[in-house]
Amino acid sequence: MTHPTDVPPSRLLPRLATELQSHKLVEPPVWASFVKTGVHKQRAPTQSDWWYLRSASVLRKVYLHGTTGVSRLSADYGGKRDRGSAPYHARTGSRAVLREIVHQLEKSGLLQRYKNQGRRLSPEGMRLLDTVSRDVLKQLAESRPELQKYL
């Protein structure tokens, strides 16, 4: 069985984002075209499909971390803030963006609440990640025959 840890994220995330977009599991809100993803950023994202990529990335992070909340995800998507001549300091990512993504993923049935500890993957979310990972590994095995034994 193939897991999301078996394939490179650079191959998995775009494929997972197209799955989320094609099945209409997440939709960018109206404000998504001009919002920054954190105080450490200077501009809004320039990619047209950044919302789907971030949603796929959040789904993968929840898989890796297990039960997690918006605060933990915000720390993962943070960065260093440029403070001019003062030293850089770590800042968290936008919680509003992550909260909206988590709500959408929960509404579509890919995430579920777990007690008071945050959210974790539902069986449907696990199934989606596993099937997309298997498809990506099959594509990689076509170009690199030594990966054939992992299928």
Annotated domain spans of the chain: 4-143
Asked: is 4-143 a CATH 1.10.3210.10 domain? The reply is: no
Residue 118: helix, strand or coil by DSSP?
coil
pLDDT, mean of residues 78-83? 93
Phi-psi category of residue 99: left, alpha or beta, with phi > 0 → left and psi -120 to 50 → alpha: alpha
The answer, yes or no, to whether residue 150 has pLDDT greater than 90, is no
For residue 35, the model assigns a pLDDT of 94
User: What pLDDT does 105 receive?
Assistant: 97
Query: Residues 11, 140: contact at Cβ < 8 Å?
Result: yes
3-state secondary structure 6-74: HCCHHHHHHHHHHHHHHCCCCCCCHHHHCCCCECCCCCCCCCCCHHHHHHHHHHHHHHHHCCECHHHHH
Q: Is residue 16's pLDDT more than 90? A: yes
Per-residue pLDDT at 151: 73
* pLDDT value, residue 1: 77
d(CA 128, CA 28): 20
Compute the average pLDDT of residues 71-100. Answer: 94
Is the pLDDT score of 139 beyond 80?
A: yes
Residue 143 has pLDDT above 90, yes or no: no
Q: Which pLDDT score, from 0 to 100, does residue 134 have?
A: 94
Q: Are 109 and 118 in contact (CB under 8 A)?
A: no
Looking at residue 51, its pLDDT comes to 97
d(CA 121, CA 133): 15
In sign, the C-alpha dihedral spanning 18, 23, 24, 25 is: negative
| 109 Cβ neighbours under 8 A, 6+ residues apart | 122, 124, 125
Say if residue 135's pLDDT is above 90. Answer: yes
Amino acid at 100: E
